[in-house]
A and B are shown apart, each in its own frame.
Chain A
């Protein structure tokens, strides 16, 4: 993935998985929480993204469990996924620092 081209849903899904493995519904609710309700992934979008990220090697399917008769498959971030996320964090942080400095906001004088 070329630097600077990570879309927000991808960023949020990887962020959701950065701390621990999660199942689909867990990712969906976590992304909504991380984005403070701004981004709500629906099932079609979520599973298209999970499919793509798996193919790209940024996440992988982990263990499965059955809860209330429903299958849950957990997804976890890979080392490559962590690297991509870290690179995106650095890029965003640098952009934020420049923007904050130019606006004269606190925390932007780096």
Chain B
């Protein structure tokens, strides 16, 4: 095998880094250019050429990904999340305040005063999610974002001072992340009005019923983990979650909803795995902080960044031609 053939083979191997559509269109001419600019007895690609080819492949792949025709799936997913997330937070808040139990016990003849009436610091987490959900159902985008941020802040910040260990709780992390996700989703998307249009009212109702069921099943005295209350609630919860995930997988927007909701759900899942492995032990503080707070935050940053890029790509494609061109 002569030098030119060997060199060509190695260049072709490097060109496999390019997307297939680009290879089909340009690989022959690129090989020609590379060989034309190579030395007479050269057998290996120069390091600079190899690096340049790989960098070019990355640029083209990124550009193809970023510029792919945006079908609005991310915007629709964020709009749907701006409705679903408040409902999930509300369900978790109702479970936290044990309103179901209060109602049931009152109906069965043992009326009691809910504990949270005497604890003003719990009012934000008790009433805030209800207000956010109401605003979401009314389709008030900015109000949802602001109310969700305020609710989350008034729920989380006092705990930093009062009960710092609660911050490691997957239940708290779930509510905090869902609250932040609600605000981000409402700001980046057309808003909950669009989300309600996509879900339709029967979909919203199904989400509410599912969320209420999950909240009741996962309600516990410690860490809000269903495993604490036996295997049956855990299996039922897992079944409901899997069914919901399958429903989400049907449409592109649904798959993105799943990705977005997986981030706040991650601490919960990790805690469940931990508990399933070693019983109801809590993690050391450092691991808890990293796993419950740090990792989801990092993932949330990645997902939101991807969503923002795709939403902007969609807007750019819909903009007039003068505005549509990126910098040259």
Contact = CB atoms under 8 A, between A and B. Distances in A.
25 contacts: A1-B327, A6-B327, A7-B328, A24-B30, A24-B32, A25-B36, A25-B37, A28-B37, A44-B53, A44-B54, A44-B55, A44-B56, A44-B57, A45-B52, A47-B30, A48-B55, A48-B59, A51-B26, A56-B325, A70-B28, A70-B31, A70-B35, A70-B36, A72-B29, A73-B29
Closest 6 pairs between A and B when the two form their complex, measured CB to CB = A44-B56, A70-B32, A44-B52, A42-B52, A44-B53, A5-B327
Contacts, number: 84
B104 to A, nearest CB: 62
A7 B53 CA distance: 20
Contact of A84 (B22, B36, B63, B328): B328
Contacts of A55: 63, 67
A83 B57 CA distance: 29
A105 B54 CA distance: 44
Nearest to A54: B25
A78 interface: no
Nearest to A29: B37
A48 B328 contact: no
Contacts of A43: 30, 33-34, 37, 49, 52-53, 56
A17 interface: no
Contacts of B32: 24-25, 70-72
A51 B22 contact: yes
B29 A28 contact: no
A46 B29 CA distance: 12
Given A24-B30, A56-B328, A70-B28, A42 B49 contact: yes
B168 to A, nearest CB: 46
A25 B56 contact: no
A63 interface: no
B1 interface: no
A38 interface: no
A91 interface: no
Interface size class of A (residues with CB under 8 A): 20 to 34
Interface string A60-71: 000000000011
B56 A47 contact: yes
Contacts of B48: 42
B60 A48 contact: yes
B109 interface: no
B326 interface: yes
A7 B327 CA distance: 8
B37 A5 contact: no
Nearest to A46: B33
Contacts of B325: 1-2, 56
Contacts of B37: 25, 28, 43
A108 to B, nearest CB: 27
A24 B55 contact: no
Nearest to A27: B33
A70 B37 CA distance: 13
Contact of A48 (B35, B49, B56, B326): B56
B161 to A, nearest CB: 49
Given A7-B328, A42-B48, A45-B55, 8 more contacts: A7-B327, A24-B33, A25-B37, A44-B54, A47-B60, A48-B56, A58-B328, A70-B29
